[in-house]
Amino acid sequence: MLFYGPPGTGKTSTILALAKSLFGPALYRSRILELNASDERGITIVREKIKDFARAQLSQPSGIDSEYRSKYPCPPFKIIILDEADSMTQDAQSALRRTMEQYSRITRFCLVCNYVTRIIEPLASRCSKFRFKALDGVAAADRLEEIARAESLRLEDGVIDKLIKCSEGDLRRAITYMQSAARLVGAKGASGGGKKDGDDDAEMVDADSSEVITVRMVEEIAGVVPESILDRLVQAMQPKKIGSAYEAIAAVVTDIVADGWSATQLLSQVCFSSLFFYFLWKREQRLRAY
């Protein structure tokens, strides 16, 4: 199988969940080989580690009874999971093709990547392709709300929507932003109820802290430029009936530089907003034409 799509959409989680549901805890270690191809992507790894695991005969450990098999199917093959397979070299991918063919009877492969175009065609043609798209906003919101309830986090209205917007469909990034905000809230309330965790010097987050995670916190963590600054910049760029708009624009830009906002992020948000309003305008023009 070949799983491809944007990061944070559940590709690796899907194949790991599938593997655990097939083999269960007793057979998982002996039947599953998971490799991060960005770290181990040379042809040597394919010729040695992957090939040795692929050609090893299946073993049946003790303790596997009929009750266990009724719960887990335990098919007669192993699974090799290659995460970030698009980082593998061309030679390594070519060597992997032969290994996949030679040991297909007892070994299956799952390639996980972000860019399917970086997988050579002979390798991709031997796989069933599954495209993962960005998560639906409703599903991502439900998952984030579930995590917030489990961690006893207090969220301001609009925080979930802002997390989804800032992460751009990447659920992993959205969870990371919420975790960072929770640690920031815990750091503010640490003087009242912080806890020491064994050998760690840092104070642990108090999940029951009265502090609330706000939209502004999420924007700061994600590096998003506030809407108020964008509005000031757009207002300053409006044509003036008398005189030039340069002084107003220069004043806003000076404030943006002084505050340390990212120019790349600023331009990205301005361009996105411009395209959004352009499409709204085009839609309105079509409706008027009808």
Query: What is the average per-residue pLDDT within 262-270?
Result: 79
In what helix (H) or strand (E) does residue 11 lie, and over which residues does it extend? helix 11-31
Fill in the DSSP letter of residue 213.
B
pTM for the full model? 0.71
In whole angstroms, give the CA distance from residue 145 to residue 142: 5
Based on the domain organization, do 36 and 106 belong to the same domain? yes
Based on the domain organization, do 26 and 122 belong to the same domain? yes
**Domain region containing 202:** 135-224
In whole angstroms, give the CA distance from residue 118 to residue 120: 6
In whole angstroms, give the CA distance from residue 238 to residue 246: 10
Within 8 A by CB and 6+ apart from 72, the residues are: 21, 22, 23, 24, 27
Query: What does the angle CA 53 – CA 1 – CA 164 come to, to the nearest 5 degrees?
Result: 115
Please report, for the domain that includes residue 91, its CATH number.
Answer: 3.40.50.300
273 pLDDT higher than 50: yes
The predicted-structure confidence for 171-226, as pLDDT tens digits, reads as follows 999 999 999 999 988 766 554 544 445 444 444 444 444 589 998 889 888 888 87
Neighbours of 8 (CB within 10 A): 21
The predicted-structure confidence for 218-240, as pLDDT tens digits, reads as follows 988 888 887 788 888 878 887 77
Based on the domain organization, do 7 and 117 belong to the same domain? yes
Pairing of strands 2-4, 203-204: unpaired
